[in-house]
Structures are given as C-alpha cells and as structure tokens.
Amino acid sequence: MSRKPVIALVATGGTIAGRADSATDTTAYTAGTLGANELVAAVPGLGDIAELRAETLFRVDSKDMTPGHWLTLARRVAELAEQADVDGVVVTHGTDTLEESAFFLHLTLTTDKPVVFTAAMRPASALSADGPMNLYGAVRVAASPAFRGLGTLVVMNDRVYSARHVAKQHTRAVDAFGATDGEPLGWASPPTLARRPARTEHGDVPLAGLDTANWPPAVEILYVGAGSSPALLAACRQLGAAGAILALPGNGSMPASWMGEIEAAIAAGFPLVRASRVPAGAVSPHDGLPGLLCADGLSPVKARVALMLSLAQADPAVFVRIAG
Ligand code: ASP
C-alpha cells in the first residue's frame, strides 16, 4: 500500500494568518496572528491528502520581511527538504513581498522536491477567505511528482506559477497574482503541469556555497519617472549602497538627464542594473555602455535579489547568468 505524501509546512505570517474583528472586514486586520497548526486546522480534508508537519517560523506581515528572513527561511526549508521522508515543502507567506522571498529560495535551494509558496488576500477571519483553498492547492502541488525539479513555485487562486515570473499585480483583488511571461505553469486542482518553464535557473546560487558574512549587500531600487532627478543615483552611492537597480521607463530607456550620473557610476565600478517599470516583457541589452547590467526579464525587485546574490558571491557573472 502506498503511503500518504509527507509535506512540511512552514508558516511565516501574512494575511493568510491574519485576523480581523469582523468577518466582513478585509482591510483592517492584523497579519500573522495564526500559527501553522491553526492554518492546517482550517482546511477540511487536508489530512486526507497528506501527512502535514507544520511549524511556525515567523509571524510577520511580509512588508516587514528582510533579506535576513529570506536566509533563515531558505536554511529551514533546505533542512526540511533534505529529510528523506519529506516529499515537498509548503511555505505560507504575506502577499506583499512573496515574490522576493520565493525568488530568493528559487535561486538558492538545490532540492528537486517541490517548494510551494502560498498566501491569501483575505484574512482567515473573512467571509470567503481565500487562504484555506490556496493552502489546499499548495499541498496538492507540493505532493505531486509532476512538479518536481521546477524550483520554487507559487500557488494562488488555483494557478501554479514559477517564482521567476510570479508577481502581485493587484492591490486588493482576490485574483491578485499573475505571471510576467503570460500564462501560469499549471493548475492546482487537480495538480496539472500545463507547460515547463523556459529556464531552469533554480539552484543557480546554492545556499551551501553562499558567502553570508556580509549579507545583505545594500542594493536599492531607483524608480525613474518623467523628469526624476538623477541626483537620486548620486545620493544612493553617497549613502554607501553596494549597487542599484534602475526601474526605467519602457524598454529600460535611460533619460538623457541621467546619462552623466549613470556613466560616472559605471566608471567608478558601481554595480548598476537597467530594469524596466513595465510589468511584462524583457529589457534589451544596451550596446553602448559596457559594465551596465541588464535585467532582461527580471522585474526590479527580482533583479535586486539577483544582484544581492551576485554581490554576496563577489561575481557579476552570477547576475548575468540569472538574468540572461
Ligand atoms: N500586508 C500583508 C502581508 O504581505 C498582505 C497579505 O499578506 O496579503 O503580509
């Protein structure tokens, strides 16, 4: 007789674990109130599809997540995934910065077992809370052999996304998540892989070899609007940033007024990435400025994760490998 899949569940907080005073209140609530066992108890039938090993690692609203949390979370998930009888790991998280945590784990974990993030837009106390169904779907995907070897995944609203392309795309809608390259990878009910990701960068910067002595390198994102001051870049360098991402208009278009500061930064060896404010599509490489890094299809927040890992390894090629 085949055994039930064993799924480790790591709770980190967020709205999925949030509570409000009233069932109709979906905005004034405290995130990260419930622990992992309470999340599991709210999903009827979960114990029928898997043996759950649940633990509460953090109780944070994900707006307060830091790169230090990413590291602690990645280490714990790696330990759990190494356990021979664990088939997959589910991480519950806040929606605000989920895509950054998930991408960090995607790049640093080398396990072939599915690591699946999920979250909720409505607190656990709300009418039609979305968390229980999202958690049910995440456990099914984590237990499914079809999703092995794809790195870190995200299940929201029945869809399965790769951590590379997932993004929160709406501030309040229940269907808030989408993929920057178009379609989801598949579906959670039943677990179905509709397409394989085009790239397999998961595990590109293995956690075991990561130099964390100076973690995290201070990498900032500068959002460039029409007429924004290039003094932002100079200020960023003066404040001691280790690198910066430029969230530029269009296809990573650099305003003429910024060129002097951009060239000065590159000449000084300051790691600088050309990314785009546009939510979908890739930035084309720029021939004219050797030394300027190109985010390709990475969003500014994901380019930041990649540059931080690249700086931690003191190797610009790491960024190029991840982005390109
Ligand atoms: N602020 C919350 C968080 O990111 C929002 C959510 O989870 O939906 O933790």
Task: Give the active site residue among 15, 26, 118, 180.
Answer: 15
Contact 90, 118 (CB under 8 A): yes
Which helix H or strand E contains 88, and what residues bound it? strand 88-92
- Our answer on whether the CB atom of 101 is closer than 6 Å to any ligand 1 atom is no
The verdict on domain 6-193 having CATH code 3.40.50.970 is: no
**Closest-lying ligand 1 atom to the alpha carbon of residue 60:** 9
Same fold for the pair 6-193 and 217-323 = yes
| CB count in 10 Å sphere of residue 152 | 29
- Our answer on whether the CB atom of 94 is closer than 6 Å to any ligand 1 atom is yes
Contact 83, 74 (CB under 8 A): no
- Our answer on whether the CB atom of 95 is closer than 6 Å to any ligand 1 atom is yes
Q: Which residue has the tokens 């650099």?
A: 254
Per-residue pLDDT 10s for the chain (324 aa) are 478 999 999 999 999 999 888 888 878 888 888 999 999 999 999 999 999 999 999 999 999 999 999 999 999 999 999 999 999 999 999 999 999 999 999 999 999 999 999 999 999 988 899 999 999 999 999 999 999 999 999 999 999 999 999 999 999 999 999 999 889 999 999 999 999 987 778 888 999 989 898 899 999 999 999 999 999 999 999 999 999 999 999 999 999 999 999 999 999 999 999 999 999 999 999 888 999 999 999 999 999 999 999 999 988 889 999 997
User: For residue 1, what pLDDT is reported?
Assistant: 44
Burial profile 221-234: b = 16 or more Cβ within 10 angstroms, e = fewer: bbebeeebebebbe
Count how many Cα atoms sit within 13 Å of the Cα of residue 287 in the half-sphere of its side chain.
0
Domain edges within the chain? 6-193, 217-323
In CATH, the number for domain 217-323 is 3.40.50.40
User: For residue 79, what pLDDT is reported?
Assistant: 98
